């Protein structure tokens, strides 16, 4: 899952070397939280107008996680 998020984000930004993802432990609701970090200048590219790209990233990640019967959340830091 972490590799998928990195691949999606790296395709969107101008500086793909600055893309990092950290993963939290499973919380009490059984959700794994992924934190996406990009360069400050690429933040707008990842969020998009009115958050549409960020929402699309979250939808794709949830769909991929659903295949493995896991619950995830993506935070853009």
- The CATH architecture annotation of domain 2-76 reads 2-Layer Sandwich (3.30)
Predicted confidence pLDDT, tens digits, the chain (77 residues): 999 999 999 999 999 999 999 999 999 999 999 999 999 999 999 999 999 999 999 999 999 999 988 999 999 98
Task: Say what the pTM is.
Answer: 0.89
Residues 35, 1 contacting (CB under 8 angstroms): no
């Amino acid at each position: 899952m972490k590799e998928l998020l990195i691949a999606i984000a790296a395709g969107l930004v101008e500086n793909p070397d600055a893309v990092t993802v950290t993963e939290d432990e499973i919380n009490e609701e059984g959700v794994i939280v992924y934190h996406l970090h990009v360069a400050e200048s690429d933040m707008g590219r990842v969020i998009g107008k009115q958050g549409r790209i960020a929402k699309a990233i979250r939808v794709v990640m949830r769909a991929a996680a659903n295949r493995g019967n896991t619950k995830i959340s993506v935070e853009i830091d």
